[in-house]
Chain A
Amino acid sequence: MRGLKYQLKNIRRDKMCILSFLLPIIVGLAVSSLSDASFTSISETSFGIIENNLSANDVEWLRSYGKILVFKDMNMLKTAVNNPATHLIGVLNDSNGIKTVLSGDELQLYAVIGNTLPQLYMKDKMVSNVKVTIYPTENNNDFLKSLLIVITMVTALFMGCTFNAMSIISEKEDGIALINKVLPMTKKSYLIQKITLGFVGGVLSTILTACVCIRLEIKAIFLFLILIVLSAFISAMAGLFIGRFSSGLMIGIVYIKIIMILFLAPPVLFYLAVSASSILHTLSYVFPSSITFYGFMDLLNGHIQNIGLYIIVLFAHCIVWFLMYLITGKHRENAY
């Protein structure tokens, strides 16, 4: 307990450490303050037209399928269509109705929209004769905004790992690790001290980030907290592993970088690119951050049916990581 007090005292003087735990909260505030309109404008299909090229009726028709950007001449339209940051589809007047202009590097979605738009223009009247039933969605959050919020929270959890790793590595570099060997401190109390700091920091940072970004129901809050606690524990353990296996600061940075990529990239990629029912999605459970990510996204979208499974898998991860740390420690002379 006294050791923990000294560690906390040490942190209190470390402004950069406090800042790193506060930063996800600041980013969370920034993300939640962004208007939904700016996120919607990315998702909406964009059409580029040339001034006075299409009739007013055609422009109105086009507006019903997406937002319209008006350009002065063909060159400006071509430049905008070729802009790799957007998926703008150029629409021009044609003897048979309209014709479209694409850059050729679009995603299949926009290529198909561009290729089918002239046919749609010819046949559009039939849509009004058909019954269209559109059901509302349970999820009221903007997809991109939710994604940013969850990435920020997973990053907040990752701070615990970084803090632990850097703390142990700098202790090694300064020779404090050697002093610890001769101090009357057991490996167990050292382990508890180190886990506690990264764990508590990660948990607090993530909870505060969640407080400023999202609103959940009472039941969801409880599940959310369980996910945070389990994930923060794994993150703190990852920090201990990095600290143990790093012989120097640069090697530590290499490991932190690899873990950071594994912590942040696979969840986003699997979530976006892989169907939830596929075997690859299940295989992604091997990355604990993926489970945390899916859990956060599900809770934000109001789905709680899979949360039980996520909690069980995360709990299993906690046990495996902890046991692995103890087992590998026995085989190392400098086990801390």
Chain B
Amino acid sequence: MRHGFLSLLRKDFKLMLSSKFLLLVFGSLILYSCYINFFYANLDQDIYPVYLYDPLGTESEVSSDVIQVSSISELQTVCADGYSVGIDVSGGEPEIVMITSKIESIDRYRAAYALMLLSSDDSSMAEIVGENNREMKNRREITCEFLFFELAAVGFLGLASTLFKEKQMGVIRVHGIIPISKTAFILSKLILFLLVDLLFACLITIINLGFFDGISVLPDVLLQSGILSMIMVLVGFFCAVRLPDFKQFSLLYLVLAIFISTPVFLAGQTGIDWVWINYHPMYHLFMGMKNAYFATPSVRIVYYIVSAVAIMLLFLIVYRALIREMAKEG
């Protein structure tokens, strides 16, 4: 029995290699890591630029953050973006000019901030209560997003590509008559894809968070990756068994990758107040992953119980679908 299961694992690994799934996974790893390290890690949003038109030199204690302009038309041009703030002192007294941001409170702050820069540089320092700096926050945030996207979309896709190949080769029909249980057939794929997903999670975390920061969050990240991976592989298995060809499956993948993940990312990363998002199962999986990356304590027994039940239920559904498919194949 054990020998049969090992043979299945070996066969699935060979199929995985021939379908170039590992190429896709490691290509993605390189692509994501380059993007994180060369671009996203340094992403920032500057404070409102303040421009001053002071032809008479009236203001003498101007902050070094203020940019001087030489004409009123230049002042109007630079302030046309609805973000910058202009100070016109050509009439002797300062006048704040700007295009509205459409949010009154922000406009009010922009005006007050610009005026404050006219007097001195004496800003105080706020009390810092967090442990991350901006760069590390960016790294954790985007690594979490990429890992979630990769596990949700690609794990789902990888399994399907091998299963469709097997369907074409008539392997499912053969399995109907050989003495290897259907559970072993599902488990061998599940274990293999779970291992690849965990390896991917491990590499993307350590490469992009750094060795020590990566290691410190890795146990939690691997736990969340394991849950997500098993759910997605089983969903992928079910879809691959039920759908007639890979083209239909790949379109479904695109739908999932773009339209299902986007609201989850928006709600999870911007704090947008959508009540309905709580009914979106992927949101809870994403938040589980995010809490793991930010080492936020979130021991929620209900979440783990629901996840375990979902995995078992999916396994049963896949098992029944496989039996049905084998019966159909004769």
Contact = CB atoms under 8 A, between A and B. Distances in A.
Contacts, number: 234
A248 B18 CA distance: 10
A105 B248 contact: no
A232 interface: no
Contacts of A119: 116, 122-124
A23 interface: yes
Interface stretch (B104-112, B170-178, B189-197, B316-324): B104-112
Interface residues of B, number: 83
B199 interface: no
Given A82-B129, A254-B23, A107 B134 contact: yes
Contacts of A82: 129-130
B90 interface: no
B119 interface: yes
A82 B240 CA distance: 42
Q: How many residues of A sit at the interface, in one of the four size bands? A: 35 or more
Contacts of A134: 98-100, 107, 111
Contacts of A115: 123-126
A278 to B, nearest CB: 13
Contacts of A100: 126-127
Nearest to B28: A257
B44 interface: yes
Contact of B47 (A112, A117, A256): A112
Interface in B40-55: 43-48
Contacts of A123: 116, 119
A228 to B, nearest CB: 19
Nearest to B130: A103
Contact of B105 (A44, A85, A105, A265): A44
Given A105-B134, A162-B250, A254-B24, A135 B274 contact: no
Nearest to B122: A119
A282 interface: no
Contacts of B259: 23, 27, 155
B238 to A, nearest CB: 15
B251 A166 contact: yes
Contacts of B252: 16
Interface string A113-157: 111111110011011001111111101001000000001000100
B302 interface: no
Interface stretch (B4-12, B213-221, B222-230, B264-272): B264-272
A86 to B, nearest CB: 4
A130 B115 contact: yes
B47 A170 contact: no
Contact of B112 (A124, A131, A269): A124
Contact of A17 (B35, B243, B248, B294): B248
A16 B251 contact: yes
A257 B24 contact: yes
A108 B45 contact: yes
B325 interface: no
A217 interface: no
Interface in B86-106: 93-103, 105-106
Contacts of B128: 101-104
A19 interface: yes
Contacts of A173: 246
B311 to A, nearest CB: 25
Given A64-B108, A108-B44, A120-B116, A43 B254 contact: no
A135 B98 contact: yes
A38 interface: yes
Contacts of A4: none
A167 interface: yes
Contacts of A127: 108, 111-112, 115
A258 interface: yes
Given A104-B133, A249-B161, A269-B39, 7 more contacts: A16-B247, A20-B255, A40-B103, A43-B103, A102-B129, A155-B259, A253-B250
11 contacts: A20-B251, A42-B270, A64-B108, A101-B126, A102-B126, A104-B129, A107-B45, A130-B111, A170-B245, A249-B161, A257-B24
Report the 9 A-B pairs with minimum CB-CB distance, sorted nearest first: A103-B130, A105-B137, A16-B248, A100-B126, A104-B128, A85-B271, A112-B47, A107-B45, A86-B271
